[in-house]
Structure 1
């Protein structure tokens, strides 16, 4: 008679433990995703008010493009060292320090913007770039270790979707914040999102800060650098991120200066471009696995094939409905490739150097993200928007060529 109550009590305890575990898991994923969302919004928001910043600071298109590009440039340099440090330290603590670093960068950028000090604004953004790459690397690490293998891809997919969510938030609200509080306030506005994320992340991540993995060795790093296929997929990532950041950085200015939309409306329209990536990035793996039976190359090839004519033809239309449709389709196509690229490159190398391959892909992709706003501004300054979008379309066409030669991971053999 005494066995039944004990069994019932045990069942209830197990159910409560499961509920608590699920709360901690998804609280952690939600918290770290909010942190990343705040950083992504901070990262892109100057692009939404570029005309105002140029007039206020008396700078040209190239210099204004640097306001967005500098964060990616910093991340390119800091990504691999940050990953090596995170392998030897507590990622939970590193996440908290990154949020505090964002607060410092935001206040610094706000005061520098109010005083018209362009160099100080750039310096603050460079500090923000360090916070960004720490959050991204630490987030993927701790989310991967917080869930069982059967739910890992879903959890990491939710986290990576924070990028386009943050970009859409920054693009859509940046003009409103600038109108209400002055443009320097854009550097402070999204700190609150990161702080809310930290408040959710900290209590749910207890005990998950230390990684058991060791940092990649020099030999492992060399294996990746000598792998032709890794460089090929890295090139695809470079082109994809270049297109993504070019449109994010200069789409709003084009709609304002050429099409004649207000800054607020153009920001909301361009916000659709990263926003559709929420669906694209989370569905890219399922599309590859189910529709193409695990093949990666058709998805990447199709992404560039669809994006090329849309980017080239963007400046030939004035209809808002047509432009919105083009942004949605191009944004989905480009980010479908971005969402798959990290899985793609992992599968091209021996599993023991998979993490190194991902770190390499991150650095190469962010290099494209760094250069695109700056180079795009230089072309706009020298030859106008029509030529700039034509050059961007040429990059997309180059992506078709590279994707055609890209190998299938299933055909790779490792010793």
Structure 2
């Protein structure tokens, strides 16, 4: 009983280390712009480059996870991530820094998929939504840690010094993962249909593609708000970067609780994806209100921005669990890596394209455009079947 919860905690902390490396750049955009003399669109492009690294390498990492296991993959990823981040101190200019940030993404990507596969093996279908909700809470917790600490370090010591924080976290976690990140025994608790040794490709069926599509669509509002929230508060409301970072960090706690709550919700209703449709609809409405308030009621816009931050991150645990359950354990590593790869398309392109929209039409238009992607996700979500964990590896 205690062992599986320890494994869950280990996966959470390892993911926090990885997340702070992959997605910490948006919280130091002012220092990044100052260091290299960049426009906001150029800085947004650099902020998206770790996601490009994920996109290029995650399919290969998925094969490594399924073939060599979670412990090897996570340990290698954490060590490579720390090594890549240390290179920032040795390069000069935005092009070289961009190449290093791409390398950081290439190294850091598999921790999410490997940690997810590890947790899935230890928990049964009736607990899996809750367990994965807890595990996916690592993302907002990692973002909160980054938002709270990295702007302070960046303001005092510069962009490169701030990026050494996630490097230190990765180095600290690597030996713990190497020793303790073990798979369950031959008779794991997760003895449901997902655990069956099925080897046929789940990609012959439409359901898994639709889950991937929903994640990509909802990644646009998520990364729009996440990337530009700090810049919005600084430029539109006159906040200092550390204050904005601290407030954004504060939203990560309710964001983590939202992932936990939606996971338990999905266990209760027997569906991972029906809650996703509701979340997408509410998120789209909140973004439209934010777009309107930014013009008409600026004071209310701050509260709406913080609500959008929480809502935009609350779906990830559900879609991540759904794609793994749909794939089955034999394909879970590759399926979750594919999920992260496709999400990386959103997280790579969104900062670039929304940076152009902001430069051209302002933040209001960017928020309204993000709401459109929520509406598209509502239409794409497959909600006609029960959770894969509740019935079989092919239901959803």
Contact 2:150 2:163 in 1 (8 A): no
SS at match of 2:68: coil
Q: Which is greater in Rg?
A: 1
Q: Which of 132, 149, 164 is the matching residue for 2:140?
A: 164
- Note the 1:240-389 alignment, pairs <5 A: 240-290=218-268, 293-317=269-293, 322-346=300-324, 356-389=334-367
Structure 1, gaps ≥5 residues long: 1-17
Q: Which of 46, 57, 70 is the matching residue for 1:78?
A: 57
SS at match of 1:78: helix
TM-score after normalising by structure 1: 0.80
Residue 191 of structure 2: aligned partner: none
Contact 1:237 1:341 in 2 (8 A): yes
Residue 88 of structure 2: aligned partner: 109
Q: How many residues align?
A: 383
Structure 1 residue 352, shift from structure 2 partner: 6.5
Residue 47 of structure 1: aligned partner: 26
Structure 2, gaps ≥5 residues long: 189-194
Alpha-carbon spacing, 1:214–1:86, altered in 2? closer, same or farther (3 Å): farther
SS at match of 1:254: helix
Contact 1:297 1:407 in 2 (8 A): no
- Note the 1:112-151 alignment, pairs <5 A: 112=91, 115=92, 117-145=93-121
Aligned partners of 2:387 and 2:81: how far apart in 1?
41
TM-score after normalising by structure 2: 0.84
Aligned partners of 1:236 and 1:149: how far apart in 2?
22
Residue 63 of structure 1: aligned partner: 42
Residue 192 of structure 2: aligned partner: none
For residues 74-114 of structure 1, what are the alpha-carbon distances to aligned partners after superposition, in whole Å with 9 as ceiling and x for unaligned? 212222211112222253233222222122111112333xx
Aligned partners of 2:367 and 2:125: how far apart in 1?
42
Question: How much is the aligned-residue C-alpha RMSD, in angstroms?
Answer: 3.4
SS at match of 1:261: coil
Contact 2:251 2:306 in 1 (8 A): yes
Q: Which of 194, 198, 207 is the matching residue for 2:170?
A: 194
For residues 273-321 of structure 1, what are the alpha-carbon distances to aligned partners after superposition, in whole Å with 9 as ceiling and x for unaligned? 444321122221221332xx32444312211221112212324446787
